[in-house]
């Protein structure tokens, strides 16, 4: 068996003495589509940022393509990062085409200008997300769903092997959210390895190969149908939540009213 693309071993991380992650171990194999779920404040984004090299490895070990995130060098461009949508100022004066190009800035090199091949890569990325006709639109002129796809195009602009997505469907409507995951599924079928951070187990369970449950520590990483049992979800989100099942899939997770059975 080949070594995992992403490997996290006994990782702990604290922020000003407040433990955020404790003894987390996780492996993502090549070509796998993994969801990292957990309640707000579970440390999901922190784990993603450590994998990306945005936060340091304080304790434990993290390997991406077999190397620590800090020393990835050019391998860094084989990772595509899709941040949360509200992360961006929607009125920033930039066209969609220029925005997608920013994904290649690291690859182009400091102080260097984009070449013809860079613009071709941008066009390919826009075609992959079906936004090729909107290249000259401003980021702020796109709908929520289109902006979401713009973020994927930006991540795809370096033709990465791995996609890391942080709560990608925050602030988009359910229909856009579904088409977003369908697009990710298509990319997985093309051979990409995908790790998606989400707090919405209901939607994502239909698309992924496995679900990793994180709430400060990682207490399970299994196939979706094994994870979506009442016991595991209660252990993850606490007893104060209720799950409404549509068939096998729990679609809504809400806080129970006081006194409600």
Partner 1 sequence: MSLLSLGFMQRAIIAGCLVGMLCALIGVFVVLKRLSFMGAGISHAAFGGVALGYVLGIHPTFTAFVFCILTGLGIAFLSKERRLKEDTLVGIAFASTMAFGVFLIGIGKVRNVDIFGYLFGNILAITREDLIFASLLSGLVLFVLFVFYKEFVIVTLDPEGGKASGIPVEAFSYLLVTLVAAVVAVTIRLVGIVLASALLVLPAATALIRARTIPQAMLFALLNGIAVSLGGLFLAYFLNAPAGATIVLLGTGVFLVVSISSSSPRQG
**Residues that bind partner 1 in the complex, under the rule CB under 8 A:** 52-54, 72-73, 76-77, 79, 81, 83, 87-89, 91-95, 98-99, 102-103, 105-108, 110-111, 113-114, 138, 140, 154, 158
**DSSP conformational letter for 158:** T
Residues in CB range of 201: below 8 A, 6 or more apart: 35, 37, 211, 227, 228, 233, 250, 253
- Looking at the Cβ atoms of 126 and 213, the one nearer to partner 1 is 126
Q: CA 136 to CA 77: how far, in whole Å? A: 25
Our CB check for partner 1 shows the closer of 158 and 169 to be 158
Give 52 or 126: the residue with its C-beta nearer to partner 1: 52
How many Å separate Cα 109 from the centre of its chain? 25
- The CA-based dihedral angle spanning residues 16, 24, 53, 27, taken in that order and rounded to the nearest 10 degrees: -170
In the chain, where does DSSP find H-type helix? 44-52, 96-102, 105-108, 116-128, 144-156, 174-189, 201-204, 224-227, 230-237
Closest distance of CB 102 from partner 1, Å? 6
User: Which of 41, 37, 85 has the alpha carbon at shortest distance from 200?
Assistant: 37
CB of 138 or CB of 241, closer to partner 1: 138
Shortest distance, position 67 Cβ to partner 1, whole Å = 13
Nearer to partner 1 (CB atom), residue 41 or residue 106: 106
The CB-of-156 to partner 1 minimum distance in angstroms stands at 13
Minimum CB separation of residue 81 from partner 1 in Å reads: 5
Residue closer to partner 1 (CB basis): 95 or 179? 95
Q: How far apart are CA 139 and CA 134, in angstroms?
A: 10
Nearest to 163 by CA among 123, 129, 132: 129
Tokens representing 232 are 């595991």
Closest distance between partner 1 and the C-beta of residue 76, in Å?
5
* Smallest gap from residue 2 Cβ to partner 1 (A): 25
């Amino acid at each position: 068996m080949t070594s995992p693309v992403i490997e996290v071993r006994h990782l702990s991380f604290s922020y000003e003495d407040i433990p955020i992650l404790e003894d987390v171990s996780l492996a993502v194999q090549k070509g796998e589509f993994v969801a990292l779920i957990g309640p707000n404040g579970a440390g999901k984004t922190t784990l993603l940022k450590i994998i990306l090299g945005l936060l340091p490895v304080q304790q434990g070990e993290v390997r991406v393509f077999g190397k620590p995130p800090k020393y990835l060098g050019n391998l860094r461009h084989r990772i595509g990062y899709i941040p949360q949508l509200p992360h961006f100022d929607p009125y920033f004066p930039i066209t969609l085409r220029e925005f997608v190009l920013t994904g290649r800035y690291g690859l182009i090199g400091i102080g260097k200008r984009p070449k013809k091949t860079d613009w071709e890569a941008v066009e390919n990325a826009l075609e992959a997300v079906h936004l090729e006709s909107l290249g000259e639109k401003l980021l702020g002129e796109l709908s929520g769903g289109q902006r979401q796809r713009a973020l994927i195009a930006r991540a795809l602009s370096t033709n990465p092997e791995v996609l890391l997505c942080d709560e990608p469907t925050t602030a988009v409507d359910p229909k856009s959210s579904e088409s977003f995951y369908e697009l990710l599924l298509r990319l997985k079928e093309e051979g990409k390895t995908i790790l998606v951070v989400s707090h919405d187990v209901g939607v994502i369970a239909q698309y992924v190969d496995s679900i990793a449950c994180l709430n400060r520590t990682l207490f399970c990483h299994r196939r979706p149908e094994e994870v979506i049992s009442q016991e595991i979800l209660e252990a993850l989100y606490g007893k104060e939540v209720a799950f409404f099942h549509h068939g096998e899939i729990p679609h809504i997770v809400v806080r129970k009213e006081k006194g409600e059975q």
